[in-house]
Amino acid sequence: MRHLTKTQQFTRASLQQLFELADRLEKEPDDSLKGKILASLFYEPSTRTRFSFESAMMRLGGNVLSMESASQSSSANKGETIEDTIRVVNHYADIIVLRHPESGASERAAKVSNIPVINAGDGAGQHPTQALLDLYTIYRELPKVDGIHMAIIGDLRYGRAARSIAYLLGKYKDIHFTLVSSPELRMSDDVKDYLKRHNITFEETESLEKAMKSVDVVYQTRVQKERFPSEAEYLRFKGQYIIDRRLADGMKEGAIIIHPLPRVGEIESEVDDSPHAVYFKQAFYGFLVRKALLKTMLSGKKS
């Protein structure tokens, strides 16, 4: 894999190799990327994604060039294209982690880059490494991935994390989704068509409580203010689906609650000590899987 721009690039075999490497990197020190430089190029704000990539690179012995507010840089303010920026950064680093508000920006960057580009989120498009850590969390917390029943809740229209995990789980067998949202925020047809082509069954509902009682994984998502065309439309849907302790306690034994974070009220703090809540562990799993991804893409070594 030269660049990572979308989750569809993975195979089950490559996912298994990546996850096994992440398992090993949790226990074994590794400085195989000493002398390598990661350029962290973020046109949108980020905490977990940027920190986990930068920490992973440093833990592997590498160095980091970081720009969190790239949209406010002198080059961007002067009108430089993303293509020209990438061409310049190619001279300074060995790999680029790019977040951008425009869907498809990472693919534009990859077309002109001589070094690997990793999509760290492109608008309402995809966030493939978020999907990787979501899947890795399921891999670590449940006995198996095949055959799981997963509820994805909230903003399924604009949420790139929801889209990305749906694409990635298309690699597995006997997956069933319950898509919980208001009619206005339902999953787009392109994702549903993909699921149908890969024999993934799904149902759409507005009932959160019914869905939570039967699933193996609850994927709660934030209604993202920055994705809506107006604040008025955002406020129509904010707070529509909230997980409290009563709902969590009604889940079946062994089921888990995950969330891409940050949360802004859609999971109440009383849920945090529930045995079902694994969303803070999920952030650590993200560090591990991004560490494995950087090692794989920069060194070509799987062990």
Burial label, 65 (beta-carbon count in 10 A; 0-12, 13-18, 19+): middle
Any domain includes 99: yes
225 has binding-site annotation: no
Peptide bond into 262 cis (omega under 30): yes
Same domain assignment for residues 165 and 210: yes
- Residue 263 in marked binding region: no
> CA end-to-end span of the chain, whole Å?
16
Give the percent of the chain with pLDDT over 90: 70
Instruction: Please confirm, yes or no, whether 127 is among the known catalytic residues.
Output: yes
* Residue 173 within any structural domain of the chain: yes
Residue 186 gets which letter from DSSP?
Answer: P
Catalytic residue, chosen from 127, 140, 176, 295, is 127
Same domain for 168 and 34?
no
What residue numbers bound the domain in which 187 lies? 128-282
The reply to whether 254 falls in a domain is: yes
Q: Is 201 annotated as a binding residue?
A: no
Cα–Cα distance for residue pair 62/91, rounded to 1 Å: 16
* 134 and 120, same domain (yes or no): no
Residues 244, 139 within the same domain: yes
Structure tokens at 91: 């001279």
Query: Do 142 and 70 share a domain, yes or no?
Result: no
At a CB cut-off of 8 Å and minimum separation 6, what does 197 contact? Answer: none
Which runs of consecutive H residues, i.e. helices, occur in 28-66? Answer: 48-59
Dig out the tokens for 266 from the structure. 């859609």
48, 149, 186, 198: the catalytic one is 48
How far apart CA 158 and CA 227 sit, in angstroms, is 6
28 and 160 inside one domain: no
Q: Reply yes or no on whether 48 is catalytic.
A: yes
Active site residue 11: no
Q: Which residue is associated with the tokens 């306690």?
A: 249
The mean pLDDT of 245-267, rounded to a whole number, is 94
Do 215 and 141 share a structural domain? yes
> Does residue 1 fall inside a structural domain?
no
Report if residue 66 sits inside a domain.
yes
pTM: predicted TM-score of the whole model, two decimal places? 0.90
Q: What is the pLDDT of residue 45?
A: 83
Structure confidence at residue 230 as a pLDDT band (50, 70, 90): low
3-state SS class at 218: strand
Q: Read off the tokens for 283.
A: 């952030």
Does residue 167 lie within any of the structural domains?
yes
Report the C-alpha gap between 49 and 263 in whole angstroms: 15
- 261 annotated as ligand-binding: yes
CB 43 within 8 A of CB 72: no
What is the pLDDT, as a whole number, of residue 301? Answer: 46
- Annotated ligand binding at 220? The verdict is no
Question: In the block, which residue shows the tokens 């490497």?
Answer: 21
pLDDT for res 78: 63
Total Cβ atoms within 10 A of residue 231 = 10
Residue 2 lies in a domain: no
Shared domain for 59 and 145, answered yes or no, is no
Find out whether 260 is annotated in a ligand binding site.
Answer: no
Whether residue 278 is found in the same domain as residue 290:
no
Q: What percent of the chain has pLDDT over 70?
A: 90
Higher model confidence: residue 40 or residue 222? 40
Would residue 7 show up in a list of annotated catalytic residues for this protein?
A: no
Q: How many domains does the chain have?
A: 2
pLDDT tens, 275-293? 999 999 999 999 999 999 9
Q: Is 160 annotated as a binding residue?
A: yes
Co-location of 174 and 290 in the same domain: no
Query: Looking at the structure, do residues 29 and 133 belong to the same domain, yes or no?
Result: no
Residue 43, domain CATH:
3.40.50.1370
Instruction: Let me know if 202 is exposed, middle or buried by CB neighbors in 10 A (0-12, 13-18, 19+).
Output: middle
- Residue 41 within a domain: yes
Catalytic residue among 49, 85, 129, 178: 49
Q: Is 24 annotated as a binding residue?
A: no
CA–CA gap between residue 209 and residue 230 (Å, rounded): 29
The CA distance from 177 to 238, in Å, is 23
Residues 101 and 220 in one domain: no
Residue 49 is among the residues annotated as catalytic for this protein: yes
- Catalytic residue (choose from 3, 6, 50, 99): 99
Higher pLDDT pick, 120 / 303: 120
